[in-house]
Amino acid sequence: MQRSRILGLGVYLPPRRVTNDDLAKMFDTSDEWINQRTGIRERRYAEEGVFCSDLALEATKDALKDANVRLDEIDFIILATLSPDVHFPGTACYLQKKLGIPGIPCLDIRQQCTGFLYGLQIADALIKAGMYKRILLVGAEVHSSALNFTNEGRDVAVLFGDGAGAAIIGASDDQNRGLLTMHLHADGNFADILMLEIFNISKKPYITHKSLDEGRQFPKMVGREVFRVAVTRMPEVIQEALQSAGVDLNEIKVVIPHQANLRINQFVAASLNLPEEKFFHNIQRYGNTTAASIPIALKEARDEGLFAEGDLVVLVAFGAGFTWGAGILRW
């Protein structure tokens, strides 16, 4: 059976660095509080006027170069984000316009922190079915425009950063390389635990001055509940993936987890009895970039030489929905 493989990766991080001390000038927080609970020291914010599709465009250019694939070879675009350019149409359409490749299908997916893994599964299925040959998968976020920089929103505001990561997915020439398995889950019973309402479509009108005054344009989260469920589901789904691929945990070269909280990932490593060095982290520098976090981390880990051709790599994510998943790649 044809396998799909990541042919190349791209990253774009906006240049503006915002440290914990910078945030402490806006509301009551401290570098100590943020670092102790999350591991985050700084994050990047896009400037005024920059869209999600702009970050996605830069990450795409980087990925095309990395994959040595021409733009005109791309035959499908999947874009994962929770901070789209506009409510509709999808941001993949805006990215396609900026790339200048009209005509090919564009798909937005809304699986938040698990978006890149859902996108990878979709791309894999389309390639295995022989329908498309070179799929562009991008995770991109502009969180900084939708955070509440007051004491009321500080629990969420300190966590998130902007950025984009892209992958070019194609058929693998070597049957032993590529995506070996992917396991996705969701539980909508937890949908309201971490969400951004903005509007209420059941109301006429669906956005009011009152709803804005109430801060419904900002994300809200029951942080402790997210933490509690994440540290259960992430090891569980890694085990599920290992079992399905017939791979032993000791054979894994590196785990690339979604970067939501360093402490969550340390819990996951401990509960699997895996040395912490096997888990790659860059949350210290970027915060949680949601759909972008896994492709950014994957590229950085590869460039640092933490894995190479033939190595087994685990990808794992958990986030709003709740959605979660894990996959295993043979690089």
**How much of the chain is in helix, strand and coil states, percent to nearest 5?**
40, 25, 35
By rule CB under 6 A, what string of x and - marks binding of each residue 10-39 to ligand UT7?
-------------------x---x---xx-
Q: Which entry of 20, 52, 143, 258 is annotated as an active-site residue? A: 258
**CA angle (196 as vertex; 191, 201 as ends), nearest 5:** 85
- 121 contributes a contact to ligand UT7 by CB under 6 A: no
- 111 contributes a contact to ligand UT7 by CB under 6 A: no
Q: How many CA atoms lie within 13 Å of 171's alpha carbon, on the beta-carbon side?
A: 13
Within 8 A by CB and 6+ apart from 1, the residues are 128
Nearest one of 83, 147, 112 to 325, comparing CA atoms: 112
- 241 contributes a contact to ligand UT7 by CB under 6 A: no
52 is catalytic: no
- 319 contributes a contact to ligand UT7 by CB under 6 A: yes
Residue in the shown chain whose Cβ atom is closest to ligand UT7: 223
Nearest distance, CB of residue 108 and ligand UT7, angstroms: 19
- 166 contributes a contact to ligand UT7 by CB under 6 A: no
- 97 contributes a contact to ligand UT7 by CB under 6 A: no
Nearest one of 191, 189, 260 to 227, comparing CA atoms: 260
Nearer to ligand UT7, 51 or 324 (CB): 324
Cα(167)–Cα(331) distance, integer angstroms? 13
Asked, as a colleague might, if the bond just before 76 is cis with ω within 30 of 0, I would say no
- 155 contributes a contact to ligand UT7 by CB under 6 A: yes
Residues noted as catalytic:
113, 258, 288
Per CB under 6 A, residues contacting ligand UT7 are: 29, 33, 37-38, 113, 154-155, 158-159, 221, 223-224, 226-227, 260-261, 264, 288, 319
